Amino acid sequence: MKTLQGKIAVVTGASRGAGRGIAYELGSTGATVYVTGRSVNGSTTDNRPETIEETAAGVTSRGGKGIAIRCDHTSENDVRQLFSQIERENGRIDILVNSVFGGSESTLPSGEGRLFWQRPLEHWDAMMVAGPQAYLLTARYAAPLMKKHRQGLIVNITFFMKDRVAGNLYYDLAMNAINRMTLVMAKELKEFNVSAVAVCPGWMRTERVIDSGYGPEDGTTETTAYVGRAVTALALDPLVTEISGEAIMVAELARKYGFTDVDGTQPLPFEG
């Protein structure tokens, strides 16, 4: 069985949700995973209890090595310090998973409705700054460490719906900015043997979703382990460069690589 033993990964926004699920699965294959986010012991965010220390411990208990580092990925100083530490300790990074997103935080003002002119500009800032801008900032510091060793994989967690609007105007723009960013990253990193892939989960049973009891009408959901297994499959694929630049649903990757969710099923793509 192939493993990621000896590989150095960074998973951003990993205190909970997709980030936590991805960190756990990378840990299960032996990777050293730097778990980053703003939620730390004694100071969590968004009225949630989860922390990066808990995630790091979960990575270690699964056979990897989890390292928790507090990092606000909208802060260049925080991101610079993060990668300076990783360079000092390892000299390189093999896998970067961008998974931060501020657009769903409960502290955002609700506005006057769901239409774009009814939404406050704080929604734009939360989705674009703590989204594609944070992805770009983080990748800017990761790419030189990959380029130097002529290997690496950047995975950008995203969402898209073919020929349909994803959610609302701000969210749709944020996700499509990430998808386009991935395409251009792949083009510019190709000569250095570094790949970039945008990965789109379906309706995940995150901690927040489970607590709210909310779900899609058709009942099609997946655990955060499913997207974690997708990322792990990409990291293990020696031919991942062949799909670099693409935005791919987790369900499509499950069919391509033959992995399942924790219950042995392969949930279909979320169609809205």
Q: What is the C-alpha R_g of the chain?
A: 17
* Count helices and strands in the chain by DSSP H and E runs: 9, 7
Distance CA 74, CA 129 (A): 7
The pLDDT profile of the chain, 272 residues, written as one tens digit per residue, is: 679 999 999 999 999 999 999 999 999 999 999 999 998 898 887 777 789 999 999 999 999 999 999 999 999 999 999 999 999 999 999 999 999 987 566 666 677 778 888 888 888 888 899 999 999 999 999 999 999 999 999 999 998 767 777 778 888 999 999 999 999 999 999 999 999 999 999 876 766 666 566 555 555 688 999 999 999 999 999 999 999 999 999 999 999 999 999 999 998 876 65
Q: What is the pLDDT of residue 58?
A: 97
Pair 36, 2: CB distance under 8 Å = no
Instruction: Write the pLDDT tens digit of every residue in 59-93.
Output: 999 999 999 999 999 999 999 999 999 999 999 99
Pair 2, 236: CB distance under 8 Å = yes
Q: What is the pLDDT of residue 107?
A: 67
Where is 232: in which H helix or E strand?
A: helix 224-236
Distance CA 33, CA 91 (A): 14
| CA separation, residue 89 to residues 1, 169, 194 (Å) | 28, 42, 21
For residue 160, the number of C-alpha atoms closer than 13 Å in the C-beta half-sphere is 19
Structural domains in the chain, sorted by start: 8-257 (3.40.50.720)
Q: What is the pLDDT of residue 141?
A: 98
The backbone torsions φ and ψ at residue 267, rounded to the nearest 5 degrees and listed phi first, read -55, 140
Distance CA 216, CA 272 (A): 8
Distance CA 165, CA 44 (A): 32
Q: What is the pLDDT of residue 44?
A: 82
**Residue 105 burial by Cβ neighbours in a 10 Å radius (0-12, 13-18, 19+):** middle
Instruction: Write the pLDDT tens digit of every residue in 167-205.
Output: 788 889 999 999 999 999 999 999 999 999 999 998 767
Q: What positions carry a catalytic annotation?
A: 171
Distance CA 239, CA 243 (A): 8
SS3 call for 5:
coil
For residue 105 the two structure tokens come to 């935080």
